[in-house]
Structure 1
Amino acid sequence: MQLTDINKDTYRSHLNVIIVSAIAFFATVGVGISSLLVFYFGSAAGDNFFLNLLGVSIGGAIAAVCLHRLKSSEYFYEVAYVWDLKHELNLINRRLSTLKRAANDNNIDAIIILLYNYHGSRQLWQLDDNVLNLQELELELIQLEDKIRQLGLKLEPNQYQRNLLIKF
């Protein structure tokens, strides 16, 4: 996955619309299906917990399928990009300690992965207004870029490919 600049305001407004729409859709469909199941198959005694649970589960599944299909639409571009970026960074963060040790040993692939991780994390934190750890991240990025210069390398975050993680 390549890092791409996206508009923060567009991302935030689209994310808010998508969240509200998804919740409204899920609630409407879940309650609607639950009501239909209780109406047709429910008992008069009022013990319809499993029918309600089934209806809400079906509603959630329908909402998830709709979100998955809409993910490739133009409106979802920024939100889908951030979802994918979070997923990619999560895969990297699971191996972070190993990657840092390998980068200290001048492993080029580990350095590329860390460079991508730092740039991607900075972008993500700025988009989500999560600036608490940004100074620490910037320091680590400066140290990594200094190491890259010392090694005489020309590396870019977009040289990252997921298959580089296989080695770690």
Structure 2
Amino acid sequence: MKLQEINKTRYRNHLNKVIAGCIAALVMGSLGIAQALIAVFPSEQGSHFHWNLAGVVVTCLLIASVLKKYKHHDFMTEVTYVWELKKQLNYITRKMRKLKAAVDQGDVVAMQIINYSYAGSRQLWQLDDNTITMEELSVWQAELDAKAREVNVTLDANKFDPQSLTNY
């Protein structure tokens, strides 16, 4: 996955609309389905927990299927990109201990993967206005850059290949 420039205003606007739509659909769908099930299958004890739960589960499945169907729609471009980037960065983070050990041994591929992770994290944190740990990220990046200079490597986030993660 290549890093892309994202229009922050458009991303935030579309993400907020997607979130609001999902919340509204969850509330209306789960209540509507639960009420329909209660009307069709009333309980003499007065407990309708299982019907309420069924309404929530069915609505969540419907929302997930709609999001999956429309994830390539133009409206969802930035939102889908960020979701996929977060998924990729999460995968890298789970392998970070092995990657950092490989970097300490001079592994160039591991350096490129971590560089991509730092660049992607920087982009996400800027998009989400989460700049609290940006200074810490700068320190990590400086350490990685120093290690890359030691082995005479130029780091480039565009050289990241997701398949290379299988080696770690």
TM-score (structure 2 length as normaliser) = 0.94
Corresponding residue for 1:65? 65
Residue 44 of structure 1 and its aligned partner are, at CA, apart by 4.5
Corresponding residue for 1:3? 3
Corresponding residue for 1:79? 79
Corresponding residue for 1:94? 94
Corresponding residue for 2:46? 46
Residue 35 of structure 1 and its aligned partner are, at CA, apart by 0.8
Map 1:68-147 → 2, pairs under 5 A = 68-147=68-147
| Whole-Å separation in 2 of the counterparts to 1:3 and 1:109 | 17
3-state DSSP of counterpart to 2:74: coil
3-state DSSP of counterpart to 2:121: helix
Corresponding residue for 2:148? 148
Residue 95 of structure 1 and its aligned partner are, at CA, apart by 1.2
The one-letter amino acid paired with 2:162 is R
The one-letter amino acid paired with 2:166 is I
126-135 or 46-55: bigger deviation: 46-55
Residue 145 of structure 1 and its aligned partner are, at CA, apart by 2.3
The one-letter amino acid paired with 1:139 is V
The one-letter amino acid paired with 1:161 is D
| Whole-Å separation in 2 of the counterparts to 1:102 and 1:49 | 51
Q: Size of the alignment, in residue pairs? A: 168
| Whole-Å separation in 2 of the counterparts to 1:90 and 1:15 | 20
Q: What value does the CA root-mean-square deviation take over the aligned residues?
A: 1.3
The one-letter amino acid paired with 1:64 is A
Pairing 1:36–2:36 present: yes
| Whole-Å separation in 2 of the counterparts to 1:43 and 1:167 | 56
| Whole-Å separation in 1 of the counterparts to 2:46 and 2:131 | 50
Corresponding residue for 1:21? 21
| Whole-Å separation in 1 of the counterparts to 2:16 and 2:126 | 17
Residues 42 and 51 in structure 1, CA contact (< 8 A), matched pair in contact too: no
The one-letter amino acid paired with 1:72 is H
3-state DSSP of counterpart to 2:110: helix
Pairing 1:159–2:159 present: yes
Identity between Structure 1 and Structure 2 (%): 38
CA offsets 1:33-85 (integer angstroms, 9 cap, x no match): 11111111112442222112112211111111111112111111111111111
Unaligned stretches of 5+ in structure 2? none
Residue 86 of structure 1 and its aligned partner are, at CA, apart by 0.7
TM-score (structure 1 length as normaliser) = 0.94
Q: Which consecutive aligned stretches of 4+ in structure 1 deviate over 6 angstroms post-superposition?
A: none
| Whole-Å separation in 2 of the counterparts to 1:95 and 1:154 | 22
